[in-house]
């Protein structure tokens, strides 16, 4: 998704996925917690409007600012960069440790799955680094780490 209004469309997509899941497993929709994960890329309306839109539809919102790739980088280093070119260059260096060929592409994080499989501690590193970055920036840098932290707390 890369169009104006993509954020609300993402919330709608999550609702469709929940409906399909509930039909497949014979569940009530209120039994399934839904999350939409998005970032601040060219958002055409205030965050509060998106949060209200999601809340009214029973969808939790995980939001990253300035962009999700900044959270990905926190798995490997406590970085404060917000420049997209620099972010992609740094992620490319880390990606090369787990996947050969190609270049880092937005939306393709299969290599990160491999990295986490080989080193599950990377998830805790990302959360710790994101918290540290939040304290330094004095404004929301990444809130998506709270979703990861929550999901990690559900581990048995």
Entry pTM: 0.70
Q: What is the pLDDT of residues 89-102, one digit of tens each?
A: 999 999 999 887 77
The rounded distance, in Å, linking the Cα atoms of 39 and 144 is: 9
Instruction: Flag whether 145 is in a domain.
Output: no
CA dihedral 145, 104, 82, 75 (to 10 degrees): 30
Number of domains in the chain: 2
pLDDT for 152 equals 80
Kindly report, residue by residue over 38-52, the tens digit of the pLDDT: 877 777 888 889 989
Q: Are residues 86 and 133 in the same domain?
A: yes
Mean per-residue pLDDT for 107-125?
90
pLDDT for position 140: 45
Same domain, residue pair 16 and 39: yes
């Amino acid at each position: 998704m890369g169009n104006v209004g993509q954020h609300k469309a993402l919330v709608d997509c999550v609702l469709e996925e929940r409906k399909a899941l509930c039909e497949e497993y014979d569940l009530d929709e209120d039994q399934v917690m839904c999350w939409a994960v998005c970032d601040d890329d060219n958002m055409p309306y205030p965050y509060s409007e998106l949060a209200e839109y999601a809340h009214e539809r029973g969808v939790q919102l995980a939001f990253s600012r300035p962009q999700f790739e900044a959270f990905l980088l926190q798995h490997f280093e406590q970085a404060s960069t917000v420049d997209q070119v620099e972010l992609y260059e740094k992620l490319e260096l880390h990606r090369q440790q787990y996947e050969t060929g190609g270049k880092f592409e937005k939306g393709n994080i299969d290599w990160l799955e491999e990295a986490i499989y080989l080193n599950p501690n990377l998830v805790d590193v990302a959360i710790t680094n994101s918290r540290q970055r939040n304290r330094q920036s004095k404004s929301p840098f990444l809130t998506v780490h709270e979703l990861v932290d929550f999901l990690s707390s559900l581990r048995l």
